[in-house]
Amino acid sequence: MSGRPGPTADQPPRADTTKKTGTAGTGSASTTAPTPIASRAARVGSLARGALLRWLVLALAVGAWQLAARAHGSVYFPPPGRIARHAYDLWFSGPVSQLFLTDAAVDNILPSLGRMAVGFALAAVAGVALGIAVGRSHQAYALCNPVLQFARAVPPPALVPVFVVVLDFGTQMQIASIVFSAVWPVLINTADGARNVDPLRLEVATVLRLTAFERLWLLLLPSALPRIFAGLRLSLSLSLILMVFSELLPGTANGIGFTLTDAQSRSDLLTVWAALVLLGALGYLLNTGLLAVEKRLIGSRRPT
């Protein structure tokens, strides 16, 4: 018979694997997960693009300010270049032994930052401790919530005269006003975070017979951490505001707020603008540092 001979017993039929191999290879390539290096590179690229866009917006804003100030030519609205040079000469042209800080910076900026740091730290510790204590008990939260909401609603600067009467002018009054104003956001957010712990986790803690300290350290604090940092960010802004406001009052001998009022009394507008820019830069840097700590501790989670 004519035609191709069939396979013999000693020679089994050969399978056509060309198409299958190609199909398998194509499917494998299409479903391959990105490697950790590729994922890290993509993440770094995204962060770099975001940072570049932010700096570009800042540069455009400064450029627009520079052009508008030069076009207007008013002494009340100096260009940012003059403000930056004046701030450098006033505060950051000191000797190396003082980390390039001038005497004016040592006498005014450092005391302000010290008072703010002490006030913010005390407010953070007190707010977290009281917030955990209130949030763990539904009855305590129900009883304290009206008082907390009332205290939070009082404008912080309105309380400064009260502290002046009680403590007189000085560092104690300034720190007390910062603490009292900055403690409420931390306290309320911490209490909310402690109240919203997953009930399943509480049941697991009961089954495992965790002690009170273990519940606090392993369960309550990690669960409330996003809320705690949300309160800390608000408290940080309030601390900066109250630091300046308390230094604007008569009887203050140093500080950034004192520099503002002193420059205003002398009609030194460049120093006024330099102090305002310095406060904005300090607020941005402090908030960025706190966000970095938050990201390090809890990653990308945010309070819901």
Q: Any idea what the CATH number is for the domain that residue 278 is in?
A: 1.10.3720.10
The answer to whether residue 4 sits within a structural domain is no
Verify that 285 and 239 share a domain, yes or no: yes
Sign of CA dihedral 231, 236, 239, 240: negative
Verify that 109 and 198 share a domain, yes or no: yes
Range of the domain at 56: 37-76
Give the position of tokens 């002398």.
266
pLDDT in tens, 173-200: 899 999 999 999 999 999 988 888 777 7
pLDDT in tens, 217-267: 777 888 889 999 999 999 999 999 999 998 988 878 899 999 999 999 999
Tokens at residue 194, please?
A: 């402690």
Verify that 282 and 236 share a domain, yes or no: yes
Verify that 95 and 146 share a domain, yes or no: yes
From residue 214, give the alpha-carbon distance in Å to each of 135, 147, 199: 17, 30, 16
The answer to whether residue 9 sits within a structural domain is no
* Residues whose CB falls within 8 Å of the CB of residue 16, separated by 6 or more in sequence, listed in order: none
The answer to whether residue 128 sits within a structural domain is yes
The answer to whether residue 3 sits within a structural domain is no
The answer to whether residue 280 sits within a structural domain is yes
Tokens at residue 239, please?
A: 């601390």
Task: Write down the pLDDT at residue 184.
Answer: 92
Verify that 61 and 167 share a domain, yes or no: no
* Residues whose CB falls within 8 Å of the CB of residue 293, separated by 6 or more in sequence, listed in order: none
The Cα 197–Cα 203 span in angstroms is 11
Among the three residues 48, 76, 104, which one is the final residue of a domain in this structure?
A: 76
* Residues whose CB falls within 8 Å of the CB of residue 151, separated by 6 or more in sequence, listed in order: 184
Tell me if 122 sits within 8 A of 179, measured CB to CB: yes
Tokens at residue 96, please?
A: 């190396």
Task: Write down the pLDDT at residue 14.
Answer: 54
Tokens at residue 139, please?
A: 């009855």
Tokens at residue 231, please?
A: 């309160």
Among the three residues 15, 48, 76, which one is the final residue of a domain in this structure?
A: 76
Q: Which among 250, 260, 236, 251 has a CA at the least distance from the CA of 109? A: 260
What letters, b where the CB count within 10 A reaches 16 and e where it falls short, cover 143-152? ebeeebeeee
Q: What is the CA radius of gyration of the chain?
A: 31
Q: Which among 92, 75, 78 has a CA at the least distance from the CA of 281? A: 92
Q: What global pTM score does this model have? A: 0.78
How many Å separate Cα 74 from the centre of its chain? 36
Tokens at residue 144, please?
A: 């304290």
Verify that 69 and 127 share a domain, yes or no: no
Verify that 68 and 206 share a domain, yes or no: no
Verify that 118 and 203 share a domain, yes or no: yes
The answer to whether residue 10 sits within a structural domain is no
Tokens at residue 107, please?
A: 């006498």
Verify that 122 and 66 share a domain, yes or no: no
Identity of the amino acid at 262: D
Verify that 114 and 255 share a domain, yes or no: yes
Enumerate residue ranges in the chain where pLDDT < 50.
Answer: 1-2, 4, 9, 15, 17-30, 302-304
Sign of CA dihedral 248, 181, 213, 296: negative
Verify that 41 and 150 share a domain, yes or no: no
From residue 57, give the alpha-carbon distance in Å to each of 45, 54, 135: 18, 5, 42
How many structural domains compose the chain?
2
Verify that 181 and 261 share a domain, yes or no: yes
The answer to whether residue 215 sits within a structural domain is yes
The answer to whether residue 19 sits within a structural domain is no
CA geometry: angle at 30 spanning 29 and 34, to 5°? Answer: 80
